[in-house]
Each structure stands twice: as C-alpha cells, then as structure tokens.
Amino acid sequence: MGLLRDRFGDGAAARMQAFASSLEVDLEMIEQDITGSLAHVRMLGEVGVLEDAEVEALVDGLTEIGEELASGTWVPTDEHEDIHMAVEARLTEKVGAVGGKLHTARSRNDQVATDVRLWLQQHVAEVRAALIELMTALLDRVEADGSLVIPGYTHLQRGQPILLGHHLLAHAWAIARDIGRLDDAWKRANRSPLGACAMAGTGFPIDRDVSADLLGLGAPIDNAMDAVASRDHALEISATCAIACTHMSRIAEELVLWSTAEFALVRHGDSYSTGSSIMPQKRNADAAELVRGRAARVQGDLAALLSLLRGQPMAYNRDLQEDRRALFDAVRSTHDSARVLAGTIQELQFVDRFEDELHGDFSLATEIADALAGAAVPFREAHGISARMVRWCEEHGCNLAGMPVEVTAEFHASLPDHMAELLDPRAATARRTSRGGTAQSEVDRQVAALRQLS
Ligand code: ARG
C-alpha cells in the first residue's frame, strides 16, 4: 500500500520506494504506533465518531497486531512506506473495511509526531535512570575512596593537593545538572500532537484531551501546525544528551589517563577493560575510551538535527522523516554510555599512591603563600616569597621539604615553625573548609546533597 505516484515505470519506482521508506528506523517505535492508534480509536468512540462495535473491532485488531509483533508472527515488510501504513494495512487484512476508519480525523503527520513523543516518554525515563545510576556510582566511589589525597590539576599541571572525593564530586555535579536538564526538556516535550491531523485540525468533533490523557502525555499541543512541524523537543533532548555525553567523555578521559603507568592511580576492572592480542601486560580502558568516542557521535546527532530543522518552511516536510535516526541514536547512546561508565566506576580500584609523593611537593607552594598572608604579609609579596622558595629548590634539586631550616628562615622568619604542617598534603586539604572546598566536611556535605536527587 504505497502512496507513491509511479510516474516513471518500475525501475524508478523501486529506486524511490527504497529511498522513501522509513520502515527500518520506524520499527523501533511500532509499539508506540499501536498505542497511539488505540488511544485515537477510543477517543473517536467516546465522541461518537465511531460506533461501539467499530471501536471494539479496531481495538481487538490493533491488540492482536501488538501480540503478533511481540511473538514475531507478523513482521512488517518494506512494501510499506512506513509503519503507519503497514499497521493500517495489517489491520484491514484482519478486520476488513472498518480498518479504513482508523485514519479518520488523523494524519500520518500527527501520528508520527505522537509516536516519537511516546518513544521519548519511555526512553527519556530510561536515560534518566541510567544517569542516576552513574551519579550514584560516583557518589559510592567518593564514599569508598574519596579521602585519598591526589594532586589537583589546572592546565594538567599540578596545582594543589585535593581529596579524590572532591574531584569525583565535580563530575557528579555535572551529571546532576544533566539530569535536571533532561527533566526540563521532557517537561516541554510532554505534550500531545495527536488530533492535529495534517496541519489544520479537523471538522470531526474530536476531543484531543481524551487521547492525550489516554497516552499519559500532557495537554494537547495548542497549534496544529506547530504540533506536526516542530521538532525542538528532539533538539532539546539531543542537546541534553550531547552535553551529558560530553561530560561523560571528560570522566572517561581521566579514567584512561589515571590508569596509565605514569599516573598509576587506578586499575580498571576485568569486565570493562581488555587485554591485547600481542602485549600480555595490557589492561586497556576500552569502556572508557568507547564512552569518550561515543560522545562524538552524539554531538554529530545534535548537529544533524539542528541542520535538518534549519530553514524548513511550515508545516510538515518529508525531510522530517530523517529526524529519528539521529534522535534515537543520541538517546540510546547516552543511555548505554551512562550504564557502561557507571559499571566501569563500580569496578575501579584506586591506589593510595600520591599522599607520600606529595609531601613537600611544589603543589604546596600555595600553603606557604597563604600562611604568610595569614601572618599579615600582603598576599602578592607572600606569593613572591613562595615562588622564590620554589626556584631555590629547583636550583638545588630538592622539593620544599628538602630545604634546610636556615634557608627557610631567610625567606621569612616565621616559616620554620610551620613548615612541617604546611608541607603535609592532607593538612592542606583539611584547611580548605570554605563552601565547595576540598575538606572532608565539604565532600560529605555534597554527597548528602546529591543523594537527595532521585
Ligand atoms: N514516514 C513519514 C515520516 O516519518 C510519516 C509522515 C508522512 N507524511 C507525509 N505527509 N508524507 O515522517
């Protein structure tokens, strides 16, 4: 039951038919297509456009088609342009001419728009759950290993000692915002296009609130053209996915970096790493690398959707058929990435390897400057003194702990009494109790705050 006008003979028709079909990607939302049709039929019955017996026949037929699909006894074939045509054809085969009444007061334009929103209703919830799982994995890790002292970096140069928990929480907050963004996007996407028809509504006495309620979608979209032509819900959700994947790629990158022999801060679990076919010692962080790489694809999905929408005139254009591949890929990839990354994080084994090494490290230079500033030396001057101490150490091939007391005293008389404490990296983290600082109390406060999110 193709709608193509075959003006060019068989060869051309076949060529165009394959090109025009959206069946392959539509199969992903065939359940939603049936759900949408069931709601439409019930609504038509309620308002008296269909008789009870007709409603019953159509509902039974559609329900059976759903069962056939689930059991694999019916598989739509590509003689149909899309699933909407395929389901209607199957229905008519089953229930006879009354099948043709299904499409009263409806068009494939509002139908496909409804199917996609129903698909999102389910899958956005699944992405949300996966992101919660990821955030929870991070928080569990903070509670298990968060008190390890590690170097904090800016420009990938050692900056100041921090707690591992502080670092992991920076990622957890970003994921928490992704969850909030997804909720916001879904709030706007959660509207019903059904009953908008082709673009101008209908003269049949339909009640769009009834079908919206039956579908568990929010209120009907107010303007019928907007209902069939808008895809900003797809843009918002893909943008949210692209941002979340970008955040995940940052986590993933650090997990790769931290597992190198040079960092040796973490060991990846067996389930999320691989060996090499040639180098027996290898433990490659494949899961993290794949998450890092998948983000590129999702960014591409967003770019494709933005580009697709750019300059499209009102209302429905066939271009819109190209939206699902990118949208579904973005949503599915975000879900899968979050789950794999959560699993990776659950299996990580951190190594307490930096606290000793950081004793007297130059990353404690800020402590000296702060201590002098606390003793009434203007901070700029204190910074200069600390910088000169670092230079002295570099020239003498030692770290700050290797500086003889008499030399320290020359830099500032107040320093020798405090050096031991100033050069202790854990003490440096403990001093930073300002809101959002790396002190354990702040780490604990943030974990509790994020655990509230569910
Ligand atoms: N397969 C089409 C799509 O995915 C369904 C809507 C077709 N509408 C139309 N006017 N040709 O967008």
Q: Per-residue pLDDT tens for 22-66?
A: 999 999 999 999 999 999 999 999 999 999 999 999 999 999 999
Query: Quick one: pLDDT band at residue 7, thresholds 50, 70, 90?
Result: low
Q: Are 252 and 338 spatial neighbours (Cβ–Cβ below 8 Å)?
A: no
Percentage of the chain lying above the pLDDT 70 cut: 98
pLDDT, residue 393, reads 98
Question: What is the spatial distance between Cα 112 and Cα 69, in angstroms, rounded to a whole number?
Answer: 19
Ligand 1 in reach of 142 Cβ (< 6 A): no
Q: Decide whether any atom of ligand 1 lies within 6 Å of the 80 Cβ.
A: no
Determine whether the shortest distance from the Cβ of 110 to ligand 1 is under 6 A: no
Q: Is the CB of 22 under 6 A from ligand 1?
A: yes
pLDDT of res. 11: 75
Out of 271, 276, 307, 441, which one is annotated catalytic?
A: 276
Report d(CA 100, CA 258) in Å as an integer: 62
CA 416, chain centre distance (Å): 51
Specify whether 333 is catalytic: no
What is the rounded average pLDDT of the residues 112-121?
98
Residues 427-448 pLDDT 10s = 999 999 999 999 999 999 999 9
Q: Is 33 in the pocket of ligand 1 (CB under 6 A)?
A: no
Cβ count near 225 (within 10 Å): 17
CA angle 132, 134, 139 (to 5 degrees): 90
What does the pLDDT average to over 303-314? 98
Q: How confident is the model at residue 1 (pLDDT cuts 50, 70, 90)?
A: very low
Q: Tens digit of pLDDT for each residue in 321-337? A: 999 999 999 999 999 99
Other Cβ atoms within 10 Å of 170 Cβ, number: 16
How many Å lie between the centroid of ligand 1 and the Cα of residue 74? 22
**Ligand 1 centroid to residue 109 C-alpha, Å:** 6
274 pLDDT band, cuts 50/70/90, is: confident
Q: How far is the CA of 387 from the centre of ligand 1 (A)?
A: 68
Q: What tokens were used for 374?
A: 């606390």
Q: Look up residue 398 and give its two tokens.
A: 């030692």
Nearest CA to ligand 1 atom 12: 321
Q: What is the mean pLDDT of residues 279-296?
A: 93
The rounded distance, in Å, linking the Cα atoms of 45 and 206 is 10
Predicted local confidence at residue 210, as pLDDT: 98
Query: Is residue 280 over pLDDT 90?
Result: no
Structural Rg of the chain based on CA atoms: 31
Task: State mean pLDDT over 116-137.
Answer: 98
Residue 324 Cα: closest atom of ligand 1: 4
Q: Is residue 151 within a helix (H) or strand (E), and if so which, with residue range?
A: strand 149-154
pLDDT mean over 382-397: 97
The token duo for 227 is 């209902």
434 classed as catalytic: no
Using CA atoms, how far residue 195 sits from 86, 336, 375, in Å, is 20, 34, 74
- Work out the number of other CB atoms within 10 angstroms of the CB of residue 339: 18
Look up residue 80 and give its two tokens. 């149909």
Binding site membership of 112 for ligand 1 (Cβ less than 6 Å): yes
Against a cut of 0.85, is the pTM above it?
yes
| Three-state DSSP class for residue 153 | strand
| Whether residue 82 has its Cβ less than 6 Å from ligand 1 | yes
How much is the pLDDT for 3? Answer: 66
2 vs 11, more confident: 11
For residues 241-250, average pLDDT: 98
CA distance 218 to 191: 4
**Which candidate in 155, 277, 434, 454 is catalytic?**
155
Ligand 1 proximity of 435 Cβ (cutoff 6 Å): no
Task: Tell me what pLDDT residue 313 has.
Answer: 98
3 state DSSP class of 403: coil
How far is ligand 1, taken at its centre, from the CA of residue 76, in Å?
A: 17
- Using the predicted structure, report yes or no on whether residue 9 has a pLDDT greater than 80: no
Ligand 1 geometric centre to CA of 22 (Å): 8
Work out the average pLDDT over 403-411.
97
Query: pLDDT value at position 342?
Result: 98
Q: % helix / strand / coil in the chain, to the nearest 5?
A: 65, 5, 30
* pLDDT tens column, 199-235: 999 999 999 999 999 999 999 999 999 999 999 999 9
360, 399 Cβ separation under 8 angstroms: yes
The model's confidence at residue 4, banded by pLDDT at 50, 70 and 90, is low
> How far apart are alpha carbons 107 and 72 in whole angstroms?
27
The predicted structure's pLDDT at residue 10: 65
Q: Which helix (H) or strand (E) holds 159?
A: strand 157-163
Alpha helices (H) along 310-357:
323-346
Domains of the chain: 17-104 (1.10.275.10), 109-355 (1.20.200.10)
